[in-house]
Structure 1
Amino acid sequence: MPEQKRLFLLDAFALIFRGYYALIKNPRINSKGMDTSAILGFTNSLLDVIRREKPDHLAVAFDKGGSSARVDAFPEYKANRQETPEAIKIAVPYIHKILEAMNIPIIEVAGIEADDLIGTLSVQADKAGYKTFMVTPDKDYAQLVTDNVVMYRPARMGNGIEIWDVEKVKEKFEIEDPKQVIDYLGMMGDAVDNIPGLPGVGDKTAKKFLKAYGSMEGLLANTHELKGKMKEKVEANKELGLLSKQLATIILDCPVQFHEDNFELSTPDFQAVSDIFQELEFRRTFENFQRIFKAPTENNTAEKTTPVSESGGNAPSTSQLDLFAAPSDAPAEVITGFQEAKNTNHFYQHINNELAQNLLLKKLMQQKSVCFDTETTSLNTFEAQLVGIAFSFEKGKGYYLPIPEDKNQALVILDKFKAFFENEEIEKIGQNIKYDIKVLSNYSIDVKGPIFDTMLAHYLINPDMRHNMNVLAESYLNYQAISIESLIGKKGKNQKTMRDVSVDDQTEYAVEDADITFQLKQVFEKELKENGLTKLFSEIEIPLLKVLAKMEIEGINVDADFLKGLSEDLNKDILELETSIYGEAAVEFNLASPKQLGEVLFDHLKLVDKPKKTKTGQYKTSEDVLSYLANDHEIVANILKWRGLVKLKNTYVDALPNEINSETNRIHTTYSQAVAATGRLSSNNPNLQNIPIRTERGKQVRKAFVPKDKNYTLLAADYSQIELRLIAELSGDETMKSSFLNGEDIHRATAAKVFNVALDEVTREQRSHAKTVNFGIIYGVSAFGLSNQTNLSRKESKALIDTYYETYPTLKAYIAKQIDFARDNGYVETLLGRRRYLKNINSQNAIVRGAAERNAVNAPIQGSAADIIKIAMINIQNLFEKENYKSKMLLQVHDELVFDIHKDELELLKPIIKEEMENAYKLSIPLDVDMDMGDNWLDAH
């Protein structure tokens, strides 16, 4: 008897939306700034079906214009659906091109939905003797399941595919016949499609009704058996129930025909597919496509291979001579579900004796480039103890060196491997290698030689994407790594450290990390070169990484007693404000409760006629709402002051003493290079960049930061108006440049020009307005925004902005040019070639597009400022180390550097620091640095 032929019908939009939302937290953005998540998700699902199932016949069905029949029956059908995300709108034409290039039929009829097309074709295919697989995650299709029609739910999030046959559907919905799914959906309704259903009927109730009455009609004929409100609701909505069932019923007589010759899976147009994938930058996906259609692995070995690993019992012992044997050839890659250790050949070895250590070290010393990864007991580098170190220098191959808990024994092993870590010639590869450098420094190891950090490389290549290793492995290698949670448990549940994990599991986990990172380096090295980012990476980001490691290890001294006194003072201020607020309100309430605050301000005091509300109906009391009212209502101004003081106390004054390291008695912030898309550094644990300095109490927090001891003084060096100088430089506006070249106060000079008065006649208010425009212009300040920030009316604000652009005409042209460049290229660049991708620059949504346009203007300015201070930091640190100065660089806060200067070196280093900062990058106008010093950070600022 011949084998039954199989037809696979894919619901395009179900798979497109599924792919898009699966990657919503980690969108795939290509070098043009285009969000390709939806295209990639659909394409991977398509290729996975073909690879797994090798179908005889296959087609893809699309919705086109919704369902005319359902809208005629119920005009509100799908009326509450949100607008289709732009990335999906963009995706559909590309998916059409991919399918056309692969010679896969597209089924599409205006006014008919994909499920109706697939339902109709499945009935026809059944009559023709085919078994049909409806490829979709949509449960509505369960109503179509028969002996020859099944649902094929694609793999997702590490779970395998699911086949819903008749028995599976009956089990899932607790019914006797798949056709009862229509009644189930009709009773339940569907919020997504706006099918009303029967009020008050949910999943459990619908299943109960179907067991009792069998169908919607059976239920409606027996409503006399129902009780209470349920009876009232069902009887009052009988017609709505029948309509809902009609809307939920998949139509089986659409104007499409199943002709088996047209649906047969045929040979793709390889060149056409290559062109599309190249445009989308789907390199890995194209490799998988080639494997599937040109050279598939015999007998589908990708799913049958076993890992070659000591932990799996297949690797040789370390006493054997093939310690460094090459791994077997890697099998074909799995498309969705990803490759994993269990289905990929690899050679991961536990180095368990002295001979093996010596052999490993010898091999390491012969390499040009080695990836290493430390396993530790803590993410806090000052508390972390080494558990082991993994090494990899060849794909699919690596070694794990366990480190004893006893520090003396650990030092014996690490002292041996110092020769590798401190070798100046061997390139060291790592993912967030700054962490490893800091951990090894606890064991007196100074990592030397060239460095390649895959996290930083990817940050430059795609700054808006996440950069953690597991995400990168999935995105670029189609590989799903072992999760740390699977080894040590989630926080608060089975929590343990890597020390508690078996050595076999340590080996598998740690070496896999090193192996993946080594492979990512090969990918990113090429992408850096292709995107012109190699110089930025190797001459700024990597040298800066070493500088930041030293700054973080050094830390800064903090006066805990001063903070304790400040906390007591803040308590008094807070209580005084509370008393004043309660007096003005004539009622006591919980100031920290937005609900109670809203009721007092808008119900009790009636400050405005029509206060804004949240979606839940609660009054809005956010800062922007209160700031608008603060000028007219003292109670609101006091509430904002109260909020500021409470936040200051909780976030900084009371929290900072807890951040003082018990061993060093200093605070050690951590700088992140790969967070802000503009290139700016961010500070955390604790965040020292956001300490408020606009209020007197906020400024006092800086007073707690003090020199190392009486032999040192703090020195702060701050770039003066660097962003405005960069605006002048990048725009080439001669009027603005001349102000800087003449040493004029730029805000006063701007005010003199826009208000048409002499420099010495500019009032404080005029200068303030000019300053607001100067700084606001790169953020796209509007008349409305300027009006809110000043006492100018909206009309006056518009006139001021118009006059500003007339004064600086080149600047306005520059802004337009930047936006045009971004529209054409999908990105903008800093002076040093750092890119900011703007995926929404051509969005049809004006608000979204406007935000991207503002970024097109300010990203090169902010990014160039960030690059310049990074260069200054590198040069200053090199000079400090070369001359072996006692002074140290401690902090970087936006445009400011803070130093612990030994008093003996003060007069020598002041001019050096100023010169290095002002000459970090040559502009046609001078960079200017303000410097001051003192016995605390506030005095030095």
Structure 2
Amino acid sequence: MSKKLVLIDGNSIAYRAFFALPLLNNDKGVYTNAVYGFTTMLLRILENEKPTHMLVAFDAGKTTFRHKTFSEYKGGRQKTPPELSEQFPLLRELLDAFDIPYYQLENYEADDIIGTLAKQGEKDKWDVRVYSGDKDLLQLVSDQVEVHLTRKGISEVDTYTPSFLQEKMEITPEQVIHMKALMGDNSDNIPGVPGVGQKTAVKLLKDFNTLEGVYDHLDDVSGKKLKEKLETHKEDAFMSKELATINTSSPLQVGLSNIEFTGYKEKDVLSIFKELGFNSLVNRIEGEVSPEDEGQDELPDLKYKIVRSLEDVSFSSVEAIIVEMLEENYHTAPIQGFGLVNEDRKIFIPTDVALASETFKQWAEDGSFKKIVHDSKQTKVGLLNQGIDMEGIEFDLLLASYLLNPSETLFDIPSIGKRLGVTSVLMDEEVYGKGAKLQVPEEDKLAEHVVRKTDLIFQLRDKAEELLKENEQWKLFKELEMPLALILGEMEHHGVLVNEDRLKQMREELKERLEQIENEIHELAGEKFNLNSPKQLGPILFEKLGLPPIKKTKTGYSTSADVLEQLQDKHEIIPKLLMYRQLGKLQSTYIEGLLKVIYNDTKKIHTRFNQALAQTGRLSSIEPNLQNIPIRLEEGKKIRQAFVPSKEGWILFAADYSQIELRVLAHIATDDKLIEAFQEGMDIHTRTAMDVFHVEADEITDNMRRQAKAVNFGIVYGISDYGLSQSLGITRKEAKQFIDRYLDSFPGVREYMDSIVQQAKQLGYVTTLMNRRRYLPEITSRNFNLRSFAERTAMNTPIQGSAADVIKMAMINLHHRLEEEGLQARMLLQVHDELILEAPESELDVLKKIVPEVMEDAVELKVPLKVDYAYGKTWYDAK
């Protein structure tokens, strides 16, 4: 079998991925865009190349042997943005999961590692493939070595062979070094010969073959000025050649024999994909995780009973109960059976037996019988779907485990058990299979598995409770998360009514609007063509209409969104094309997406709230994600017209906190200026602009306020100078000055940031107002990138987490207040800092009074909480 060696320039590909993709971060707030882009390319490489040997090379540091030759080598480069440098440890974790070797060598660059291994592979007649964004590596091209260079982003790659290099650049691989010696390289601060560009360098090499040939025949060089420049900068040219030459004999501690690649274990890759939030990549991983891979433990004996009649079953003592449902969406999942465990017995009750029993229903709905569950929200919804309203849930193992360490990603019963030192149950997929192979086993196997899980809940309750109390989180658990879970369960079960006809009408309206824009574009282009085909659109824009091409792909001109945005003011066709694409996405992703998740029997959307996902404590929602409905475009905002009350004569009432995170910041930072601004009811962005720009309120321009707003919210999320520069379209230097002026203006904020980092280093975690913890083990890491991410997280978690605590407490208090007042009004949704209720119009005056009152009194801060509200016949009207 022939050997194939794939070598990847880790720094180069990560760097290009970072700048090619928007600043993505997962639900834990970790930036992941570079890792995501790198991963998509890696999957393509593995699929296309099927390597037998593989290595990812990284730069070891800023100083290399080249700096001895020229101390200013790479001297002009900007500092790596922290949002990128923080991702390199994640990238190494990803490579570990793929079982792909990686390597760096002190005093050498990734290019040198790649060059040395490529030459070894070439010598042994292996097929060698190099992936990078760095043209320096073109000097390695040969009959055995292909160099794949990214163009701008990472999705488009040119494959360089000797013939393609000759065709593209009119030089041989050996001449790459000589060309760089002559023309230099700004990105690496290699001087070359001033005034010699690529065109001149290629002509000189065509005439004289090498740099030495140029200087041996200097009298034959045409052009007096060029000859003078070559003479004056001869030393620079030869030094540049030395700098540009890859060391293919670097003293590596790795060789071809120990970088073999035999594939990866799907379960390891799936695990890190889930941890990083790369849900879209999960489906690309082929194969199934076999039970053998999971390393099954020997299970202890279990005595249990399958109960066919509940007449003789006593429900007098505290029970652990599981309502077993296999599908993730418990709104539609059938119940497979019930497990019940206490000190005296362990039983499995088949679904039909339990649901036909009045005894079971009475026990479930009697709050004086206390129950222990794994997931109270799932249990609540699953039984509500069967007409049983379970009361008396006093312990939720999932929420307890989440509060103990929200950075964990697995909260199933076996995983929680392992973390608390008990392994007495198999993973669900080992019993049921997964994906297309998912199936319910015969009753005995099902019963044993369900009872084992129920028994484990029963065993773990005391240990989890003890840990929560040690952490001083028992109050947070009992008074916030537990009550909220049951309220969320009721909200999920009730759902929100959707006007399907209005959505379909919007679909038709958008269709007509898209057709209208399409006709306008065709008219401007002077011909009809397929707007969704870059092959057809490119020539129209860049040949027929003469617009400047920004970048090209293998198949022609790039017409990507970033290209079109740069051309917006060049021709009136461009804004229409951008609008066409935005409206097309609205129609396909949101209108069609919502239509797919309307339940046939209720005509409602029953979104599922994630209560144990974000490390900050924030709620999110799925199927559908109601926090993602775009409202910047009016057409997107109109989607909210389809959300309506469930009864005639009712209205929707929306109330949201105004700038809650900035108010929390003012409270915990005890900054006098911020506190004063909020207490006086001043616009906080105007106040910030006044302090940062040293002007009076009437001198504030719209742009000043916009910049102040960006830095206000940026501070909350731990923004860096790079992040602020991107959001405001200014240089990093200007952004850094802006942040420094902000912190000088608000010394309490600066002091808070310094003190919270020190506190995190001492304790290993930070807390919110209600004692929610987030652990930061990297806060004392010697690795600068890991440590800086942890420091940023230490600053923003207490702010975001406390804001989450406040709105959760408001939901609980409001739920109770609505009941106390005897109102029919009920909460439907929570989206960011907004609560949406439905109520009869007759209750409107009461809601106007009590909703802001309850929300503003949820907690007591040094500044007032402010709630705005609106109402109407649809969610759109309640704005």
Same fold (TM over 0.5): yes
> 1:339 touches 1:478 (CA, 8 Å); kept in 2?
no
* Distance change >3 Å, CA 856–CA 624, structure 1 → 2: farther
What secondary structure, in the 3-state scheme, does the structure 1 residue paired with 2:726 have?
A: helix
1:491 pairs with one of 415, 435, 455: 435
Where does residue 792 of structure 2 map in the other structure?
A: 854
Where does residue 869 of structure 2 map in the other structure?
A: 931
2:349 pairs with one of 390, 398, 401: 401
Q: Deviations over 1:432-468 (max 9, x none)?
A: 2211211212333222224211111111111121222
What secondary structure, in the 3-state scheme, does the structure 1 residue paired with 2:779 have?
A: coil
Matched to 2:796, the amino acid is N
Matched, 1:472 2:420: no
* Distance change >3 Å, CA 753–CA 201, structure 1 → 2: closer
1:199 pairs with one of 115, 121, 125: 125
Matched, 1:348 2:304: yes
What secondary structure, in the 3-state scheme, does the structure 2 residue paired with 1:664 have?
A: coil
Query: Between Structure 1 and Structure 2, whose CA radius of gyration is higher?
Result: 1
CA distance in 1, matches of 2:363, 2:582: 52
> 1:778 touches 1:854 (CA, 8 Å); kept in 2?
no
Higher mean C-alpha deviation, range 850-859 or range 689-698: 850-859
Where does residue 671 of structure 2 map in the other structure?
A: 733
2:801 pairs with one of 846, 853, 863: 863
* Distance change >3 Å, CA 596–CA 728, structure 1 → 2: farther
What secondary structure, in the 3-state scheme, does the structure 1 residue paired with 2:371 have?
A: strand
> 2:374 touches 2:396 (CA, 8 Å); kept in 1?
yes
CA distance in 2, matches of 1:390, 1:800: 60
Deviation at 1:487, TM superposition (A): 4.7
> 2:480 touches 2:808 (CA, 8 Å); kept in 1?
yes
Where does residue 386 of structure 1 map in the other structure?
A: 335
> 2:302 touches 2:452 (CA, 8 Å); kept in 1?
no
* Distance change >3 Å, CA 455–CA 608, structure 1 → 2: farther
Matches within 5 A, 1:271-310: none
Matches within 5 A, 1:181-580: 198-200=124-126, 337-341=295-299, 344-352=300-308, 354=309, 357-359=310-312, 361-362=313-314, 364-365=315-316, 367=317, 369-376=318-325, 379-394=328-343, 398-404=346-352, 411-413=355-357, 415-466=358-409, 467-477=411-421, 479=423, 481-493=425-437, 495-496=438-439, 498=440, 501-577=441-517
Matched, 1:668 2:606: yes
Deviation at 1:672, TM superposition (A): 1.1
2:660 pairs with one of 697, 722, 730: 722
> 1:78 touches 1:193 (CA, 8 Å); kept in 2?
no
* Distance change >3 Å, CA 505–CA 582, structure 1 → 2: farther
Q: Number of residues paired by the alignment?
A: 624
Aligned-residue sequence identity (percent) comes to 39
The gaps in structure 1 that reach 5 residues or longer are 1-32, 34-76, 85-136, 141-189, 203-239, 251-333
CA distance in 2, matches of 1:743, 1:783: 29
> 2:424 touches 2:456 (CA, 8 Å); kept in 1?
no
> 1:80 touches 1:193 (CA, 8 Å); kept in 2?
no
CA distance in 1, matches of 2:469, 2:628: 35
What secondary structure, in the 3-state scheme, does the structure 2 residue paired with 1:739 have?
A: helix
CA distance in 2, matches of 1:648, 1:358: 56
Q: Deviations over 1:351-408 (max 9, x none)?
A: 13x3xx344x31x31x2x321111347554444443421012259x62101122xxxx
> 1:589 touches 1:596 (CA, 8 Å); kept in 2?
yes
CA distance in 2, matches of 1:626, 1:446: 55
> 2:380 touches 2:490 (CA, 8 Å); kept in 1?
no
CA distance in 1, matches of 2:557, 2:667: 46
Where does residue 77 of structure 2 map in the other structure?
A: none
Matches within 5 A, 1:762-781: 762-781=700-719
What secondary structure, in the 3-state scheme, does the structure 2 residue paired with 1:526 have?
A: helix
Q: CA RMSD in A?
A: 4.2
Where does residue 267 of structure 2 map in the other structure?
A: none
CA distance in 1, matches of 2:788, 2:546: 35
1:745 pairs with one of 674, 683, 695: 683
Structure 2 length normalisation: TM-score? 0.63
What secondary structure, in the 3-state scheme, does the structure 1 residue paired with 2:829 have?
A: strand
Matched to 1:526, the amino acid is E
* Distance change >3 Å, CA 82–CA 843, structure 1 → 2: farther
What secondary structure, in the 3-state scheme, does the structure 2 residue paired with 1:900 have?
A: strand
Higher mean C-alpha deviation, range 562-571 or range 836-845: 836-845
* Distance change >3 Å, CA 610–CA 630, structure 1 → 2: closer
Structure 1 length normalisation: TM-score? 0.59
Higher mean C-alpha deviation, range 829-838 or range 547-556: 829-838
CA distance in 1, matches of 2:462, 2:57: 44
Matched to 2:465, the amino acid is E
CA distance in 1, matches of 2:448, 2:640: 47
Where does residue 64 of structure 1 map in the other structure?
A: none
> 1:338 touches 1:479 (CA, 8 Å); kept in 2?
no
Deviation at 1:348, TM superposition (A): 2.2
Matches within 5 A, 1:139-178: none
> 2:654 touches 2:869 (CA, 8 Å); kept in 1?
yes
* Distance change >3 Å, CA 940–CA 199, structure 1 → 2: same
The gaps in structure 2 that reach 5 residues or longer are 1-29, 31-52, 61-97, 102-115, 129-247, 259-291
Matched to 1:431, the amino acid is H
CA distance in 1, matches of 2:545, 2:784: 37
> 2:760 touches 2:776 (CA, 8 Å); kept in 1?
yes
CA distance in 2, matches of 1:429, 1:631: 63
Q: Deviations over 1:246-273 (max 9, x none)?
A: 96789xxxxxxxxxxxxxxxxxxxxxxx
> 2:385 touches 2:493 (CA, 8 Å); kept in 1?
no
Matched to 2:623, the amino acid is N
What secondary structure, in the 3-state scheme, does the structure 1 residue paired with 2:716 have?
A: helix
Matches within 5 A, 1:890-901: 890-901=828-839
Where does residue 809 of structure 1 map in the other structure?
A: 747
Where does residue 26 of structure 2 map in the other structure?
A: none
* Distance change >3 Å, CA 728–CA 517, structure 1 → 2: same
Matches within 5 A, 1:18-33: none
Higher mean C-alpha deviation, range 449-458 or range 798-807: 798-807
CA distance in 2, matches of 1:603, 1:78: 43
> 2:716 touches 2:800 (CA, 8 Å); kept in 1?
no
* Distance change >3 Å, CA 609–CA 933, structure 1 → 2: closer
Where does residue 294 of structure 1 map in the other structure?
A: none
CA distance in 2, matches of 1:480, 1:595: 59
> 1:425 touches 1:450 (CA, 8 Å); kept in 2?
no
CA distance in 2, matches of 1:785, 1:608: 29
Deviation at 1:891, TM superposition (A): 0.6
* Distance change >3 Å, CA 504–CA 840, structure 1 → 2: same
* Distance change >3 Å, CA 491–CA 799, structure 1 → 2: closer
* Distance change >3 Å, CA 139–CA 736, structure 1 → 2: closer
Deviation at 1:585, TM superposition (A): 8.1
Deviation at 1:877, TM superposition (A): 0.8
CA distance in 1, matches of 2:560, 2:401: 36
> 1:828 touches 1:835 (CA, 8 Å); kept in 2?
yes
What secondary structure, in the 3-state scheme, does the structure 2 residue paired with 1:703 have?
A: helix
What secondary structure, in the 3-state scheme, does the structure 2 residue paired with 1:937 have?
A: coil
Q: Deviations over 1:192-211 (max 9, x none)?
A: 99877843589xxxxxxxxx
CA distance in 2, matches of 1:721, 1:879: 24
Matched to 1:555, the amino acid is G
> 1:80 touches 1:194 (CA, 8 Å); kept in 2?
no
Deviation at 1:479, TM superposition (A): 2.3
Deviation at 1:485, TM superposition (A): 4.0
What secondary structure, in the 3-state scheme, does the structure 2 residue paired with 1:863 have?
A: helix
